[in-house]
Amino acid sequence: MSKKLVLALTMILVLAISAGVMAQTEITVWYHSGRGAERAVTQDQVKRFNEMQDEVYVNLVELPEGSYNEQVQAAAVANDLPDVLDLDGPYVANYAWSGYLHPLEEYMSEEMKNDFLPSIMSQGTYNDHVYAL
């Protein structure tokens, strides 16, 4: 390899590593569009979260309620799900069983688990793993 090519590749590698260290993490969240007041509260919460810190940017994607589950199913089959989903409780077990959801325990302390109502924990649990809150 020529010295220029090695230097160019080294520069690209250094820039890529630097950009990766400095880059803000972006997560995509899909949610039911819901009613006007509910939608406004969700949008405001995400906006305030994004403004109060610069490590994680939440890209909130609003999907129509009527076709939401069909869109989630299509994305699951295409292996193109977002980072976070707004799921109705009855769908959690099916998506967990299919392997489309990742267990949340590694992100939750015991104290955090105890802060949730038992019914919420139960609804989001499949085969002794928490998949949804």
Confidence of residue 89 (pLDDT cuts 50, 70, 90): confident
CA-CA distance, 95 to 92, in Å (whole number)?
5
Nearest of 60, 31, 34 to residue 47 by alpha carbon: 60
What pTM value is reported for the model? 0.74
Residue ranges of the domains in the chain?
A: 24-85, 87-133
Q: Each residue of 5-45: pLDDT tens digit?
A: 344 444 444 444 444 555 689 999 999 877 788 889 999 99
